[in-house]
Each structure stands twice: as C-alpha cells, then as structure tokens.
Amino acid sequence: MAASVTELFHAITSKFNIKLGRIDNSKGLEFLLHKAAGEGHKKLLVKVLEKGISVDFQNDKNQTPLFCAVLQERKNVIDTLLEHGANPNERCDNFCCTPVHLACRIGCVEILEKLLSAGGDLRLHDIDGETPQDWAMNIDDPKRRKKMLDFIEKTRLFAMTHSGRDILLENQSSHYMNRLVPFYFKIIMNFLLFMVSIKSS
C-alpha cells in the first residue's frame, strides 16, 4: 500500500530534523567525549582524546562526536576532532548520512569547508540515495540555501578544473611521455620525420 502524504511528510521532516543521541554510561569516557563535542568544551575534549578513546565512537543513534559537533555548530571543537583523525565521511544516524550531509543541511559553509579540507566527500549518498547537495536543497532560509548551493557548485567546478589541469600537465611532462611511449617507437618516429624532411628539401 502506498504511503499517504502525511506519512511521507513525516518521514521527510524527521530526516531533516535530527536529534542528538546519548550515551548510557554517564561516568565513562564515551559520555565525556560526546558531551565535550556536543557542548563545545575544547579542553575537556582534548583531555578525553588523550586517554586513547576512539574519536569516532558512536552514541545510541550511531552519531559520532564530529557529527554531533556539526549538528550543534560547535566550530571550536570541529578542528580538534579532525586533527585527531575524526572521519568526515563516517556513516551516522539512522539515515546513513555523513557529517558532510549534515553541514550542508544546516547551511554552514565554514563548517563544510573544514570537513572538505579533511577529506569530506560531496559525492556520498545517504540511505535514500541523496547527496549532501540534496540535503542543502532543504535549508529553510533561502539566502543560506543559495549560499550553500553556490559554494557546492563552485567546489565541484574547482575540483573538475583542478583535476583536468593536473592531467594536462602530466600529459605534457617528459616523464609521462617517456613512461607512455616505448623507446623503439620514438626511434621510428624520428626516422620518419627525418625522411619527410629530406623529401621536402
């Protein structure tokens, strides 16, 4: 039986209104890790991470500390988490979204830049096959939505241009040509060019 409009609306709104999960053990390092990340306590976060706990330890909703920090827009601890190896592409929550998806949803370009600089991937899909750009389409504020979508597009174009330029430079390099073209083939080409020059003279 097909889902009703009300059911579909509920599914969509619950997806984009993510709530923080929790840690049952309020005395453990896991609890302190998520508390520090979610509330922006940088000094506490560093102390906990120095104990050797996994920086990507998930709470009861499969959310990592980085995911929680992004959700709460705790910019002061996001850098710290990334410096300690937090994965910006870790699948989180019930929708298998990443911190990159979430940054696009809340519309914070500054946070997204941090995640992309740490290896965040704009091409990944959530459980419904949606990319971070699809999540950005659901930003409530029109100005913030446009700013985010413009940034994503510019980032995509830059990546394509940069990649193409690298390939062009590699193709033009003598190292690439020496690796690509066998020595005997170059000898034949030189001989043919020499014959052409004789005929034309």
Question: Can you give the residue ranges of every domain in the chain?
Answer: 5-159
Q: Which CATH class is domain 5-159?
A: mainly alpha
What pLDDT, on a 0 to 100 scale, did the predictor assign at position 85?
A: 97
The Cα–Cα gap between 197 and 129 comes to: 60
The token duo for 163 is: 């990649």
Specify the pLDDT at position 9: 35
Token pair, residue 66, equals: 């980085």
Number of residues that make up the chain? 201
The pLDDT profile of the chain, 201 residues, written as one tens digit per residue, is 444 443 333 333 456 678 889 888 776 899 999 999 999 999 999 999 999 999 999 999 999 999 999 999 999 999 999 999 999 999 998 889 999 999 999 999 999 999 999 999 999 999 999 999 999 999 999 999 999 999 999 998 887 776 555 444 444 444 444 544 444 455 455 555 555 555 565
Per-residue pLDDT, 54: 95
Res 169: pLDDT: 46
Mean pLDDT of the chain: 81
The pLDDT score that the predictor gives to residue 15 is 62
Closest CA to 33 of 46, 20, 21: 46
Residue with tokens 């104990």: 51
Helix spans in 18-74 (H)? 29-39, 42-49, 65-71
Which is nearest to 82 in space by CA: 54, 118, 113?
A: 118
